[in-house]
């Protein structure tokens, strides 16, 4: 299930009918409150019942979330909570399920975007070029793009208003892997993958590929896949050009655990709760 956002369909924060989540603590959902084991978590005055926060984040139905709490699979600020009716502050407390953090704040948005070519990685441009904003409609949130894609490069970008996550995902010290498909001149020699994995000397230092494979070869054209964890400017294009295979088309297909999949160019989708949790884990949040 996907995360919350402006003008979107079913997902955390919306019921199947499209209504906003009911965060009022009505008293008719206490069926399991007395069945859970006690713990040392201090309830937040005026807080939200934990199972409601989990359900709104897309973890599962209210009843399923209560079962997970009772099984000891949910942590709040590092402490296992077993009471179904524990009251928490989803705006400030960190909640994890099976060790993975969940997106508990209702105002935070996480999107995958398939950037078409000839689109500037920016939210505005004083020269009138098409930017990411042109594909976002009338969204109310102020979103950040995580890293950049070259003007001519296509594919997966992440957009969010979670500033800390965006900063860490873009920072080279966290080494979040990214995978690209590249059209290059063929034929590709058998030892090219080894050369890229050993390291290619560029003007600003050695660049190393984590993985490389040839997907297709036909005459003078080849389609290759390359994965690396750094994000220097034009890094994939420069690496492949340096080894004699300049890129004619480049598409990013993954960022960490998030895959482009069948998302059409110019379209966005909400990240799933699982994807968000894996992104948090990748950068130590």
pLDDT digits (tens, 9 = 90+) for 25-52: 444 444 444 444 567 788 899 899 999 9
List pLDDT tens digits, range 126-140. Answer: 898 999 999 988 877
> What confidence category does residue 251 fall into, taking pLDDT thresholds of 50, 70 and 90?
very high
- Which of 107, 126, 150, 210 does the annotation list as catalytic? 150
Residue-wise burial string across 80-89, b where 16 or more C-beta atoms lie within 10 A, e elsewhere: ebbbbbbbbb
Distance of CA 48 to the CA centre of its chain: 26
Q: What is the percent of the chain with per-residue pLDDT over 90, rounded to a whole number?
A: 62
Q: pLDDT tens digit string along 167-218?
A: 899 888 888 999 999 999 999 999 999 999 999 999 999 999 999 999 999 8
* pTM for this model (two decimals): 0.81
Cα(282)–Cα(148) distance, rounded to whole angstroms? 19
Residues facing 226 on adjacent strands: 180, 212
What size, in residues, is the chain? 285
* Contact call for residues 108 and 160 (beta carbons, < 8 A): yes
Q: Mean of the pLDDT values across residues 78-102? A: 91
Higher pLDDT, 186 or 23: 186
Residue 5 pLDDT > 60, yes or no?
A: no
Reported as half-sphere exposure (CB side, CA atoms, 13 A), residue 70 has a value of 13
What is the per-residue pLDDT for 24?
Answer: 45
The predicted structure's pLDDT at residue 277: 92
Q: What is the arithmetic mean of pLDDT over 46-74? A: 91
The Cα 7–Cα 10 span in angstroms is 10
106 confidence band (pLDDT: 50, 70, 90): confident
Give the count of beta carbons closer than 10 Å to the beta carbon of residue 159. 23
Give the separation between CA 91 and CA 14, rounded to whole angstroms. Answer: 17
Confidence of residue 7 (pLDDT cuts 50, 70, 90): very low
Neighbours of 47 (CB within 10 A): 18
Instruction: Give the DSSP letter string of 228-265.
Output: ES---TTHHHHHHHHTT---SEEEEEEETTEE-TTPPT
* Residue 8: partners with Cβ closer than 8 Å, 6 or more residues away: 2, 14, 270
**C-alpha Rg value of the chain to the nearest Å:** 22
pLDDT reported for residue 38: 63
pLDDT at position 117? 95
Task: Tell me the C-alpha distance between 270 and 18, whole Å.
Answer: 15
| Short-list 246, 257, 77, CA closest to 156 | 257
Residues with Cβ < 8 Å from 72, sequence gap 6 or more? 80, 82
Q: Is 138 a catalytic residue?
A: no
Q: How confident is the model at residue 281 (pLDDT cuts 50, 70, 90)?
A: very high
Query: Alpha carbon 222 to chain centroid distance?
Result: 29
């Amino acid at each position: 299930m996907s995360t919350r956002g402006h003008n979107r369909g079913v997902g955390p924060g919306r019921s199947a009918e499209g209504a906003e989540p009911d965060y009022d603590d009505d008293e008719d959902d206490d069926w399991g409150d007395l069945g859970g084991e006690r713990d040392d978590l201090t309830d937040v005055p005026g807080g939200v019942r934990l199972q409601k926060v989990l359900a709104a984040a897309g973890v599962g139905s209210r009843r399923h979330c209560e079962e997970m709490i009772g099984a000891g699979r949910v942590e709040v600020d590092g402490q296992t909570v077993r009471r179904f009716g524990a009251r928490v502050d989803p705006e400030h407390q960190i909640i994890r399920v099976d060790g993975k953090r969940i997106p508990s704040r209702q105002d935070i948005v996480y999107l995958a975007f398939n950037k078409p070519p000839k689109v500037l990685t920016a939210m505005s441009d004083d020269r009138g070029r098409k930017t990411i904003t042109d594909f976002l409609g009338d969204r109310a949130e102020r979103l950040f793009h995580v890293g950049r894609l070259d003007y001519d490069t296509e594919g997966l970008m992440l957009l969010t208003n979670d500033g800390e996550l965006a900063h860490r995902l873009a920072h080279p010290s966290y080494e979040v892997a990214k995978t690209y498909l590249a059209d290059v001149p063929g034929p590709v020699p058998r030892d090219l993958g080894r050369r890229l994995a050993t390291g290619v000397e560029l003007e600003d230092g050695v660049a190393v590929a984590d993985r490389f494979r040839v997907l297709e070869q036909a005459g003078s054209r080849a389609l290759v896949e390359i994965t690396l964890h750094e994000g220097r400017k034009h890094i994939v294009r420069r690496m492949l050009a340096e080894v004699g295979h300049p890129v004619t088309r480049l598409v990013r297909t993954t960022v960490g655990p998030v895959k482009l999949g069948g998302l059409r160019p110019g379209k966005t989708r909400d990240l799933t709760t699982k994807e968000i949790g894996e992104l948090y884990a990748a950068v130590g949040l």
